[in-house]
Amino acid sequence: MKTNWLFITESMQGSSHGVLSGVCKGFSIDSRTVKQGELYFALSGDRFDGHHFAGAAIQNGAAAVVVQKERCSDIFPRIEVTNPLTAMQMLAGAVRNTLNIPVIAITGSHGKTTTKDMLASIMSQHFKTASTFQNLNGLIGVPLTLLNMNQTDQMLIIEVGISKPGEMEILASVVRPSDAIFTCVAAAHSEFMPTLDIIAHEKKKLMDQILPGGHAILNADDPVIMKTCHYSNSVLYGIKSGDYRAEISSASSNSTAITVNEPGQNNFTFQLPLKGIHNVYNALASIAVARIYGMSPTNIQKGFDSTTVSPHRSQIIKLKNLTIIDDAYNAAPRSMRCALQILKDLDVSGRRIAVLGDMLELGVSSAAEHDALGSALTDYSIDLLVAFGKFSEILYQAARETGINGHYFPDAKTVAEFLPELTKKNDTILVKASRSMHAEQIVQALKEIHMSCC
């Protein structure tokens, strides 16, 4: 049963007294799915304004609506605040103050969601564990996660993601983690954070809110993290160095075996459900936290065995005549290269095809990053490139200059229409692009055409 809410005002920030039992049950930010008795927050953005649906929320059963002052004056009952999103964040922070359970935060340029999926599955072997839904890890997603917790939860695994300076300070003060994982620092959201030092400086603000006695779990092989993110109670993990170190023992078509050396010179072997060296790092971070909380190697392996990775993240889909590497959720320079390495490392009987779309939010470096990736494709044994999107035309031209065969399309919809005609029996196809490029349309088209014909 979820906690019951009565009301919130801006004066409640940091106060556990702001969370009161009362007539409201749960909350919503979507008037279409609001449930009876929930509190509705009228959030606004560049392309939406929740105030337009406040009346519908009341009609659908909301106990009250949280709206900006001097708006929706004809709607009752309502709670007027300066900013509904800030109010929701403050309410979530007040909820956090009532929690007497471990809250483990995960931040970094890449790997947050997969690390969260692995760690949540591991900790669920012993604790009733709540975690971030998919990757709702920003200014809205973090408070959503906290407000969705149940009173019986014994642990929370929460992603904390940012795209602009200043956001981490807000989110860290809401989450106040017991422990925090830092996965890596790499070029991402460069439009607003143009250098790695700026990214690291923003990520480091999560450390300022770690509770006394908590740990910072740091990627020892990431030079920017090691230079910037110093913490008195650190646990390091890596392949080259760290308190927890891993060696890849073997790899199959869809899994990786690693041997982990932990403090005290104990060695354990684990079978991971994913391929790629980046996922070895994600697993190591999960193992380090699990051992801090006393999880046995047996339960850690059970957690890996039952891990369900969030959609479109390095998922290898084997059809009768085709293999798809579905990594369509998002893309940045570093994660593109990791996905291409998975494609290269797979044993294939047919061609290796890379279907690559734009890497967005790279700001002034967009053209240079796409050009560099296109020039580097010869390193990954690509037989055919299919590029789509404005910036990926630059990638396509750079790849052609190195001798890579390929095709260029304006968008994912067009690729989805033509790609089935370009594929052959036993092809292995990587699909990857930034989220708003809708690369999942391509994955779905491939699945439909090849499942229907087999």
Helix (H) or strand (E) holding 175: helix 167-175
**pLDDT per position as a tens digit, 66-108:** 999 999 999 999 999 999 999 999 999 999 999 999 999 999 9
Residue ranges of the domains in the chain? 4-82, 99-305, 315-452
Q: Identical fold at 4-82 and 315-452? A: no
User: For residues 355 and 143, what is the distance between their CA atoms, to the nearest angstrom?
Assistant: 35
341-373 pLDDT per residue, tens: 999 999 899 999 999 999 998 988 999 999 999
Q: 41 — phi, psi (to 5°)?
A: -100, 125
C-alpha span between 288 and 107 (Å, rounded): 15
- For residue 18, pLDDT over 80 is answered with no
Superfamily of domain 315-452: Mur ligase, C-terminal domain (3.90.190.20)
For 24-48, what is the mean pLDDT? 83
- Write down the CATH number for the domain with range 99-305: 3.40.1190.10
How far, CA to CA in Å, does 412 sit from each of 40, 318, 397? 35, 21, 18
Quote the pLDDT of residue 309: 83
User: 3.40.640.10, 3.40.1390.10, 3.30.70.1150, 3.90.1150.10: which CATH number matches 4-82?
Assistant: 3.40.1390.10
Q: What residues pair up with 386 in beta bridges, in sequence order? A: 355, 407
